């Protein structure tokens, strides 16, 4: 494109750069502002606003990155809270059952002691030997059904009987000692007496009861059909 200078006496000004224009304006503002404290205050405010903007943007970015972790933590907290509630409920049920079992054991602790003793004594009794009396020795306390209760006093019982054979008496002692429910079998007396015009041996035995190991305990159903 051809340009024509209509004013030959004047030279055409070249277009200045934008930076030069900004510098000119800053020079004008600097010329107008004579107080250096005001300039420092303005610069400080600009720096503070810039720092706050940078901090806000950085914090916003970090918050956006932490929001998924917060959601996961809240979900995990709800799940763990539900688990703890269920665990606490199960513990309450367990404690209630243990308490009920303890009450039942306290009531039934000595209910089956004498059936066990009678069964063991009858099993150990040899032929031509019979019993005349069987009872608790002295004022001993009843034994609980718990094998771990070491503070309970043992149940000491006395057996009185007759036999026509002294060897049957010694056999009775051995077989009674072999019972897992009976221990500390001690002969108290053995005297020859006349009964129904016949000489027999009257004996007295003292022994103690203990709960047998679970290997010796046999359970049967309460309802059993009989054919």
Summarised one tens digit per residue, pLDDT across range 19-33 is: 666 667 666 655 555
Would the pLDDT of 149 be above 60? no
Separation of alpha carbons 159 and 90, rounded Å? 49
Over residues 200-225, mean pLDDT: 75
Of 177, 195, 199, 176, the closest CA to residue 132 belongs to 195
pLDDT band for position 151 (50/70/90)? very low
pLDDT band (50, 70, 90) for residue 66? confident
* Three-class SS state of 201: strand
């Amino acid at each position: 494109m051809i340009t024509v200078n209509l004013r030959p006496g004047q030279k055409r000004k070249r277009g200045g750069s934008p930076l030069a224009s900004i510098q000119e304006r800053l020079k004008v503002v600097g010329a107008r502002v004579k107080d250096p404290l005001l300039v420092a205050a303005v610069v400080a405010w600009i720096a503070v606003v810039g720092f706050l903007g940078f901090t806000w943007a950085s914090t916003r970015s970090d918050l956006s990155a932490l929001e998924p972790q917060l959601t996961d933590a809240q979900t995990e907290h709800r799940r763990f809270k539900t688990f703890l509630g269920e665990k606490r409920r199960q513990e309450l049920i367990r404690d209630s059952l243990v308490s009920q079992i303890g009450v039942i054991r306290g009531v039934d602790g000595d209910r089956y002691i004498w059936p066990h003793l009678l069964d063991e004594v009858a099993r150990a009794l040899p032929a031509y030997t019979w019993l005349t009396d069987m009872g608790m020795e002295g004022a001993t306390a009843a034994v609980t059904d718990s094998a771990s209760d070491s503070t309970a006093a043992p149940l000491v019982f006395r057996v009185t009987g007759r036999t026509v054979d002294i060897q049957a008496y010694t056999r009775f002692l051995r077989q009674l000692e072999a019972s897992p429910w009976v221990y500390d079998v001690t002969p108290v007396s053995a005297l020859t007496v006349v009964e129904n015009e016949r000489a027999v041996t009257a004996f007295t035995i003292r022994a103690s009861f203990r709960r047998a190991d679970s290997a010796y305990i046999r359970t049967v159903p309460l309802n059993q059909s009989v054919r």
